[in-house]
A and B are shown apart, each in its own frame.
Chain A
Amino acid sequence: MKGIIVKSLITRRALATIAAVGLFATALAGCNRDGGASGSDSTADSKATGAKVVLAVSTMNNPFFVTLRDGAVAEAEAKGISLDVSDAQNDASTQSNQLANAQAIGAKAVIVNPVDSDAVVPAVQRLVSASIPIIAVDRGVTGVEVASFISSDNVAGGRQAAEALAKAMGEKGKVLILQGVPGTSASRERGQGFAEGIKAFSDIQVVGQQTANFDRTQGLNVTSNLMQAHPDVTGIFAENDEMALGAIQALGAKAGKDVMVFGFDGTPDAMEAIQDGRMVGSIAQEPAELGKLAVDQAVNAINGDPVDETVPVPVTTVTKDNVAEFLQ
């Protein structure tokens, strides 16, 4: 509407420019349909109402972060703030640009889910020095004091996984570990937790650990390969559900009968596999909860309310006994 009034006042050349910019903006708005939630004046008592918050997600190429975004978008709508979501497609430099853009568009707070905890530091520091509160979610920002850090407890999750898998294996036998992307904190922490937890069971032996890069196809291939070398394995711990789902595909009818597969993340596909017995369990993170709590902390920061420095989101061991609660 505004565009029509403006148009009548200006020259043709400027008009063309404006039209182009307008088109671009429309296109952006069209792409960014997750942005939703523009402010309404009904909750005018909060400073945060209608305020723009940017959520910089590492990748939408993974159902986990899609669910995290959904949780954040729902909470933003409930709180009446305007949430812009950007997807870095797992590229640290893209994310750095997106964080710079966040400042340019006047974000009052920025929620960042770093592609890389180290590479994101310079971009975050610029925002911090511009007094924009930063909320890190799922992965931290190395050496920078962010307003709040919301994450699942991966080490505890690894320990819980070890206990539950050991129980399913009758506390004896040989185990394989499918590792995540080498060098990532999630892989490190989950692996560390699992190693700590499995030590308590002296009759369980880890006979192989190989990376499948958090990827389902690679989980399938690597499990097929490892089962050739270790056909007597009775348990597999995968550092995420995608790899676990690849592993059960490799095992075929053996999955859940001869070989117990345990995952991590609690994705919908994994829950189904647990329900029908192909997978023994998973560690459910609550990505929607991570997204929701991040928005809550952002709102607190904008309103000047107290912000929690760290918000550990507990993880839950999911097995056939309680999987119904997670299937909706």
Chain B
Amino acid sequence: MSSTTASTTGTTSTWDKVKHFLASNGALVGLVGLCILLFIATPVFLTGPNLLNVGIQAATVAIMAFGMTFVIVAAGIDLSVGSMAALAGMVSAYTFATSGWPGPIALIAGLLAGGLIGAVNGFANAYFRLPSFIATLAMLSIARGLTLVISQGLPLSTPESVNFLGSSLGPVPMPIVVMILAGAAAAFILRYTAIGRSMYAIGGNMEAARLAGIPVKKIQVTVFALSGLFSALAGMVLAGRLNTASPQAATGYELDAIAAVVIGGASLAGGVGKITGTVVGALLLAVIRNGLNILNVSSFWQQVVIGVVIAVAVGMDVMRRNEASH
């Protein structure tokens, strides 16, 4: 999607190319700039262990945000991702600990639960014409409630198969591996499959997509089911890192996921967005939190800083697009 305006003239100078790259990768530039600033402020920031640390902390939100990218590209929104993540982790923990299912089966059950709940969102959106904002807002509450019902409000231990996703394979942290694999899968779906291309078509102009023969409703159900599945996977990584499924896990993560997607250059109006952007967005959020911790910034100020960074990142993007349209 980003390359549509590239090399419109055959004689673009190197400087123009640089300018174009900077303009269309504002979030990446911001990320690199922020990393340099943090490195100047404290050399601790750019050490290997700390960067792995940032990667691990970005993983959960990034995985969730991959699913969110599908939804936002298709001009929807999914507010239930945090609740679905918590529910999926809890389903795995419950079926393992209470029902005695084998760990890997419990893991799959949790993932399927996420996909199923997501499909329900999609169904409500496509066939019952509930706006996705409303359908998923309801699901935010329903899925969180079900998590509490299943857990009785208490944390449960997760099976080894789930814990593996949060652990380290030698020096390699599994959350980062899962993030990379999930990102590759999401990018592949979005770029090379008919379903992925249809998401852009629907997000760009739903009526045109329908007239072009795209099965809009089926794609919408698939989009939300995928969002549920990716959220469930994020929930597994989260639970795996703590060896525990907690009923309040991932509360409020929907906002981080949406922020990551939008910082990454997607448009909430639909039709625009890519997975690499989303990764950058998730990393940016993790870097900010990590940096504020390392610099020991007062917790009162942290929320202000995070809000300002989101506003600036998105604001720059909007400005760029306005310029492009003149």
B-binding residues in A (CB < 8 A): 60-63, 65-66, 179, 182, 208-211, 215-217, 220-222, 224-226, 228-229, 242, 245-246, 249, 269
Please name 15 pairs of A and B residues whose Cβ atoms are closer than 8 Å in the assembled complex, sorted by A: A60-B153, A61-B247, A61-B248, A182-B300, A211-B302, A216-B155, A221-B289, A225-B57, A225-B293, A228-B53, A228-B290, A229-B42, A245-B242, A249-B241, A249-B242
Q: Taking the nearest CB of chain A, how far is it from the CB of B37, in angstroms? A: 16
The complex places the Cα of A53 from the Cα of B41 at a distance, in Å, of 57
Interface residues of B in 160-189 (CB under 8 A from A): none
The complex places the Cα of A65 from the Cα of B152 at a distance, in Å, of 12
The complex places the Cα of A72 from the Cα of B99 at a distance, in Å, of 29
The complex places the Cα of A222 from the Cα of B290 at a distance, in Å, of 7
Query: Are A246 and B242 in contact (CB-based, < 8 A)?
Result: yes
Closest to A252 in B: B168
Q: Count CB-based A-B contacts (< 8 Å).
A: 79
Query: Are B148 and A179 in contact (CB-based, < 8 A)?
Result: no
The 4 closest A-B pairs by CB, nearest first: A211-B299, A225-B293, A66-B153, A229-B294
Residues A182 and B299 in contact in the complex (CB < 8 Å), given A228-B294, A229-B293: yes
Q: Taking the nearest CB of chain B, how far is it from the CB of A276, in angstroms? A: 13
Q: Mark B295-318, 1 if CB is under 8 A from A, else 0.
A: 110011010000000000000000
Closest to B53 in A: A224
Tell me which residues across on chain A come within 8 A of B246, comparing CB atoms.
Answer: 216-217, 242
Query: Are A179 and B242 in contact (CB-based, < 8 A)?
Result: no
Check: B244 CB closer than 8 A to any chain A CB.
yes
Check: B49 CB closer than 8 A to any chain A CB.
yes
Query: Are A210 and B44 in contact (CB-based, < 8 A)?
Result: no
Tell me which residues across on chain A come within 8 A of B56, comparing CB atoms.
Answer: 224
The complex places the Cα of A61 from the Cα of B44 at a distance, in Å, of 36
The complex places the Cα of A255 from the Cα of B293 at a distance, in Å, of 20
The complex places the Cα of A224 from the Cα of B59 at a distance, in Å, of 15
Check: B262 CB closer than 8 A to any chain A CB.
no
The complex places the Cα of A216 from the Cα of B243 at a distance, in Å, of 11
Check: B282 CB closer than 8 A to any chain A CB.
no
The complex places the Cα of A62 from the Cα of B238 at a distance, in Å, of 18
The complex places the Cα of A229 from the Cα of B49 at a distance, in Å, of 11
Q: Mark B262-298, 1 if CB is under 8 A from A, else 0.
A: 0000000000000000000000000001100111100
Tell me which residues across on chain B come within 8 A of A60, comparing CB atoms.
Answer: 148, 153
A-side interface mostly: helix
The complex places the Cα of A182 from the Cα of B301 at a distance, in Å, of 10
Query: Are B44 and A179 in contact (CB-based, < 8 A)?
Result: no
The complex places the Cα of A221 from the Cα of B286 at a distance, in Å, of 10
Check: B2 CB closer than 8 A to any chain A CB.
no
Tell me which residues across on chain B come within 8 A of A229, comparing CB atoms.
Answer: 42, 44, 293-296
Query: Are A225 and B300 in contact (CB-based, < 8 A)?
Result: no
Tell me which residues across on chain A come within 8 A of B47, comparing CB atoms.
Answer: 228
Tell me which residues across on chain B come within 8 A of A210, comparing CB atoms.
Answer: 293, 296, 299
Tell me which residues across on chain A come within 8 A of B302, comparing CB atoms.
Answer: 211
Check: B50 CB closer than 8 A to any chain A CB.
yes
Q: Pick the contact of A66: B50, B53, B154, B299 (CB < 8 A).
A: B154
Q: Taking the nearest CB of chain B, how far is it from the CB of A144, in angstroms? A: 28
Residues A217 and B249 in contact in the complex (CB < 8 Å), given A226-B294, A229-B294, A229-B296: yes
Q: Mark B47-80, 1 if CB is under 8 A from A, else 0.
A: 1011001001100000000000000000000000
Residues A62 and B248 in contact in the complex (CB < 8 Å), given A221-B289, A225-B294, A249-B242: yes
The complex places the Cα of A63 from the Cα of B248 at a distance, in Å, of 10
Tell me which residues across on chain A come within 8 A of B248, comparing CB atoms.
Answer: 61-62, 215
Query: Are B148 and A61 in contact (CB-based, < 8 A)?
Result: yes
The complex places the Cα of A66 from the Cα of B248 at a distance, in Å, of 13
Residues A62 and B153 in contact in the complex (CB < 8 Å), given A210-B293, A226-B294, A228-B44: yes
Tell me which residues across on chain B come within 8 A of A208, comparing CB atoms.
Answer: 296
- Give me 20 other A-B pairs in contact (C-beta within 8 A), A62-B248, A216-B246 excluded: A61-B248, A63-B154, A179-B299, A182-B300, A208-B296, A211-B302, A215-B248, A220-B241, A220-B242, A221-B289, A224-B53, A224-B56, A225-B53, A228-B44, A228-B47, A228-B49, A228-B50, A228-B290, A229-B44, A249-B243
The complex places the Cα of A65 from the Cα of B247 at a distance, in Å, of 13
The complex places the Cα of A222 from the Cα of B54 at a distance, in Å, of 11
The complex places the Cα of A117 from the Cα of B13 at a distance, in Å, of 64
- Chain B CB within 10 A, most for which of A62, A210, A226: A210
Tell me which residues across on chain A come within 8 A of B238, comparing CB atoms.
Answer: 217
Tell me which residues across on chain A come within 8 A of B250, comparing CB atoms.
Answer: 217
Q: Taking the nearest CB of chain B, how far is it from the CB of A233, in angstroms? A: 12
